[in-house]
Amino acid sequence: MYLRIFSSVFALSALTACEATQSPEPEGETLDCAIGAGAELSNVCTLEWVGEERGQEFLVHHPDGGFRRFTLSEDASKVVVKDGAEDVEMVEPAPSGFWQFSVSGDQYLVPLPPPSGA
Find the range with the poorest average confidence among 18-32, 38-52, 103-117.
18-32
The chain-wide mean pLDDT, for the chain, equals 80
Percent of the chain at pLDDT above 70?
73
- What pLDDT sits at residue 32? 97
- What pLDDT sits at residue 42? 96
Q: How sure is the predictor about 21, in pLDDT bands with cuts at 50, 70 and 90? A: low
Q: What pLDDT digit, counting tens, does each position of 34-62 carry?
A: 999 889 999 999 999 887 665 688 999 99
Query: Global pTM?
Result: 0.73
Q: Helix or strand or coil: residue 78?
A: coil
Residue 48: which of 66, 33, 65, 26 has the closest Cα?
A: 26
Q: For residue 112, is pLDDT > 70? A: yes
| Residue predicted with more confidence, 10 or 116 | 116
Q: Helix or strand or coil: residue 50?
A: strand
Dihedral angle sign, alpha carbons of residues 63, 48, 102, 88:
negative
